[in-house]
Structure 1
Amino acid sequence: MSGVELGLGIIGAVAAIDVAIKACRRVAETCSTLKHAETEIYERSTRLRSNCVQMETQLKIFRQIANQLDEQGQIVQTDVFEILSQKLDYADAKLKGLIKSRSGDPDATTRYKKSLSKKERTNYAIQKDSLDKAIKEVESWQGLSFNPLWFAIMKYQSQHFDEELDRAKENNQHQGHKMIAVTIGVRNLPRDTRSAHVFLPPEKLESAKIVKIAFSSVKSVQVDNKWRILDSISDSSEDTVRELAVRLKSANPSTFGLLTCLAAVHEEKNNEFSLVFRKPDSMSEPETLRAAIMASDKTHSLSDRFRLATQLARAVSSVHTFDMVHKNIRPENIILFRDSESTLGSAFLLGFETIRREQDGTRLRGDIDWVKNLYWHPRRQGSRIQDRYIMQHDIYSLGVCLLEIGLWSSFVEYTPNQSPTRSHTYELCAESSNEFGHPELVKSRLLSLATKELPRNMGTKYAKIVESCLTCLDLGNEDFGEESELQEDGVTVAVRYIEKVLMQLSDISV
């Protein structure tokens, strides 16, 4: 790429940032005029204004480092900022549609509503619904594209950039402060955690009530009269578990789509480690994605499925933000909690039993468990592993899970005693009982489902996302690029993932 092309890309990104900053300010100003509006409008405008102030703070920092990405990265960040501006302008228009002030009267919005006719009240309700949709679109784009891009780029800034973040934090004590503080925490994950106090006394679990979650090693546990989530960690040292706990303590559902780790536990008798996570507020009845799909209940909407898919994709991005690779993404490790937002509930990625830091070495030790192998990239399957584990291997596993969510048919079935058996619904292993010894054949069948069956269920955009995930390490892949380009460049992988997975999921309308 020539210097001229890169320069033009930088100019385009800076221009898009400036436009987005102005859009944030316009919306914040409009929201400020609604401080005397009725409670439900005031609450909406306050939430939107807070998000705009936070994003403006981030955009100002983005502007300082707009030249850090390659040509494709420049295009992606420009797209993210331009679409953000469009969504903010739409929200601003909906807000202004609700403002019916008269001669600057601060209480006019409230009095206006009280004086409406029945027809006008109906129109007012429609306007509020449109505003809710507009705010939801802004927040969705913020969570699925803007913030992931922010963390991807912030993570790879040099150490001296912390000074800039510290200044931004000091200058935004009341607004935009929280995200800057979270960013500083993610960038400065402790390098020496040996003195960190994260382990609970073993006796905490000895008398605790523990409830198994079907088809998963994840459990519910009652500690100090509060229900928590217990996730076992295998084949790890005490120092490694301590470091994982410290990293995941920085996670929270609203920003990262991951549960917050509260502590770790070491059962010395069996030399077993576990992580304890906070259960999401106002959510209950945890079950695995496997159990939900096997129930064959299709009373949910397509919107519910898309919601699960986006939550899972966001969680995978966040695991990588914390410099980790999951290594075991499959429906048994995706836990759904019942909530008021969706028939299927909200999805959280757990099953961290084999998680490790991204930079740690890989032992190249395989596993012949066919259930696990079904979700692993072909070059990571079987007893003889060919490649060290990298971020793209998680992306492949995500693709298999997204395919299963889209088809809403389980690739694995379980007997009454919870022993896994191979499903023949889509003939993944119909020809031979040894077919899982031929991983490329299984992959080709998964791709065939993604290109031929999935579009009928979820549309072509979703099917393309799944195909991109399943082929992310293929030679000549146009979405993620050549493997040689991506192997050692975490920011490139992260930006391509945002572009080809998160942004595309956010763009799907049902």
Structure 2
Amino acid sequence: MAELGLAVVGAVDICIRVANEIKTTCRRFRMYDEEIEEKAILVEAVWVRIEIQMRFLSRISELLEEELANSQLNLLRKLEGKLLQTVSQLRVQKRDGDVNDFSPKQKIMGYLSKWRWAIRDSLKELAAELEAWQNRFDPTWYLTILNSSKVLDLELRQVNAELPNDPELRLDLLNNQLNPLMNMRNLRYASKPDYKASLYFDATKLRDPRETLIMFSSARAILREQDGQTRLLIVEAVTSPNGGHGTLDISQIKTDVESLAGRLQQVDPGTFCLLHCKGLMELRDVTTRTLNGIDMLYGTPRNCALPVSLRGLLLDRSLVPSLSSIVRIAKRQVRSVSFIHTCGFVHKNIRPENILVFPSKDSSLGITFLVGFNQFRRVNQQTNLLGDPAWHRNLYRHPQRQGIHVLNRYVMQHDIYSLGVCLLEIGLWRSFVHYPLLNMNAAPVPPASFEIQISDEDFTAPHLTARLRTKDRFIELAKRDLPSRVGNVYTEIVLACLTCLDPGSRMFGNNNQEDEDGIIVGIRFIEQILARIDSISI
């Protein structure tokens, strides 16, 4: 590990040195050309965040698990290649004469008349590549919070030491959630038992709230007036982890909900694809004042309209989304699952009913967020083996977790399987669950196109026949119908999710290969699923 840590430090040093050379070159010309100045500012705006992460990574390199260190080293080398390519382009353009800070203005302007377009293009391309690299790096960066070493906490206390020297940038980053070290420190602190942030929402702030149901979702929307404007909140009740099966341990539920809410108070919705938690509200018996439930409240994108569930969109036969919109939704679902696992939780309830879609000008389908945290638990917390027979919920569960006779404790790979079913459904853009007359209170039925008979009775028996039949059907659908609709890469991603616990699976292994803190599964998910789906360009 010492050698690997030194390799990470060396790669960081090279990246920072080359980036400084690029910034020095830009400073020679930006005052003479507005477009070069604009592109240089874009590059520096992205780079300042990356450099903060690089310097911190260098300090904690020896704390990283081997698989995580290798993953980040590979990413650093890719970053190094991008920076060196830009430097080589800028150096080639300088060969016709010595242009430096002390050259006469006429000489610099003469040089720019020949090369300004090349410099602009190089910087524009670099800014885009740095942003793409940042999006790819962030998931592995946040996986670091799962490290149990107290040394990491000590290093995070030195946040200010990692800020750039520029006083204006220092002030901006100190007061800005974009500071990646502040984000990591807050997320890590939110996992501590002594987290003291105000978790409970004052119900009196909900002045004359107007509550409305969200079709085909257990979440509700609340409209409230604040400062002369209408604000939208999303609320969902946290219930017994098994839909009423088994004893309701409200004290354990409260502890877990507080832990999750603390993390969701710190998330950046744009990065995590999860809604920001505004707080919790206790639900007490009117007579006895006994705590019998908890509501979790989420903030929403500013000035947004009421959301719909993904199930509602899938059931809308008049809606024919573009391929780019489908891929955009799929990417967000992958990212949200990755960050749930990064926060140390498994979701246990990933299905279209728990994916909310808010209208957006950037997509015909809208922007999605994963909710439905009413069955979640900590990754390393023992889970019970109680299930339920409802076919429309079992459809999204791995065969090991289907029916009333659950075979295995819940692990991250079970979430990954559920994600695979959702990605298949999104890719085909047809609902696997129908409701007669689009009535959300009606008993759900399988669509005629599903080609297999399925009912609750199939999930009451202890044998695996019906359970494996659904999985085999999904794999068949993916292989047959997905390539022509969304391409081979998307298809391979879906198949990797659906087979993630198969014997011999090279991506995620089996139950016997679990890692205690989930870092190994998290890294493989990022590399084999998230990175690959992010690479899809429409």
**TM-score grouping bracket, smaller chain normalisation:** 0.7 to 0.9
2:133 equivalent to 1:141 = yes
Counterpart residue identity of residue 150, structure 1: W
Deviation at 1:67, TM superposition (A): 5.1
TM-score by length of 1: 0.83
Contact 2:387 2:405 in 1 (8 A): yes
1:155 match: 146
Counterpart residue identity of residue 447, structure 1: I
Equivalence map 1:284-363=2 (5 Å): 284-297=305-318, 299-363=320-384
Contact 2:390 2:456 in 1 (8 A): no
Q: 1:171 to 1:17 in 2, by over 3 A?
A: closer
Counterpart residue identity of residue 82, structure 1: R
Distance 1:304 1:273 in 2: 35
2:79 equivalent to 1:57 = no
2:498 match: 470
Deviation at 1:461, TM superposition (A): 1.1
Equivalence map 1:94-493=2 (5 Å): 135-143=127-135, 145-172=136-163, 174-175=169-170, 178-192=179-193, 196-202=197-203, 207-223=208-224, 224=226, 225-235=230-240, 236=250, 237-269=253-285, 271-297=292-318, 299-415=320-436, 416-418=438-440, 419=442, 420-427=444-451, 429-430=452-453, 434-435=457-458, 438-493=466-521
> SS where residue 284 of structure 1 aligns?
coil
2:79 match: 84
Distance 1:96 1:293 in 2: 53
Deviation at 1:362, TM superposition (A): 1.0
Q: Deviations over 1:402-438 (max 9, x none)?
A: 11111111111122322322123242x3378855561
Deviation at 1:294, TM superposition (A): 2.0
Q: 1:42 to 1:260 in 2, by over 3 A?
A: farther
Distance 1:91 1:268 in 2: 61
> SS where residue 343 of structure 1 aligns?
strand
Q: 1:195 to 1:10 in 2, by over 3 A?
A: closer
How many pairs does the alignment contain?
491
Distance 1:74 1:190 in 2: 23
Deviation at 1:349, TM superposition (A): 0.6
Q: Deviations over 1:280-322 (max 9, x none)?
A: 1254341111122222456433222221111111111111122
Deviation at 1:166, TM superposition (A): 2.5
Contact 1:380 1:386 in 2 (8 A): yes
Counterpart residue identity of residue 483, structure 1: N
2:247 match: none
Distance 1:493 1:16 in 2: 25
Contact 1:284 1:339 in 2 (8 A): no
2:289 match: none
Structure 1 stretch 264-273 or stretch 147-156: which is displaced more? 264-273
Equivalence map 1:41-52=2 (5 Å): 45-52=40-47
Contact 2:190 2:259 in 1 (8 A): no
Structure 1 stretch 164-173 or stretch 67-76: which is displaced more? 67-76
Q: 1:213 to 1:344 in 2, by over 3 A?
A: same
Counterpart residue identity of residue 366, structure 1: G
> SS where residue 446 of structure 1 aligns?
helix
Distance 1:33 1:340 in 2: 39
Contact 2:201 2:278 in 1 (8 A): no
Q: 1:63 to 1:48 in 2, by over 3 A?
A: same
Contact 2:389 2:459 in 1 (8 A): no
Deviation at 1:97, TM superposition (A): 13
Distance 1:97 1:247 in 2: 48
Q: Based on CA coordinates, which of the two structures has the bigger radius of gyration? A: 2
Distance 1:67 1:380 in 2: 38
Distance 1:95 1:342 in 2: 37
Q: Deviations over 1:432-488 (max 9, x none)?
A: 885556111111111122222211111111111111111112211011234322242
Contact 1:338 1:346 in 2 (8 A): yes
Deviation at 1:29, TM superposition (A): 4.8
Structure 1 residue runs without a partner (length 5+): 1-5, 116-122
Q: Deviations over 1:157-178 (max 9, x none)?
A: 5112222223343341745651
Deviation at 1:79, TM superposition (A): 3.0
Counterpart residue identity of residue 241, structure 1: V
User: Percent identity, aligned pairs only?
Assistant: 33
Structure 1 stretch 354-363 or stretch 395-404: which is displaced more? 354-363
Structure 2 residue runs without a partner (length 5+): 241-249, 287-291, 461-465
Q: 1:151 to 1:206 in 2, by over 3 A?
A: same
Deviation at 1:262, TM superposition (A): 0.7
Structure 1 stretch 169-178 or stretch 277-286: which is displaced more? 169-178
Distance 1:351 1:360 in 2: 19
Q: Deviations over 1:8-65 (max 9, x none)?
A: 7666655544444345445555666686588887666434422212112212232344
Distance 1:105 1:259 in 2: 52
Distance 1:278 1:461 in 2: 34
Distance 2:28 2:401 in 1: 57
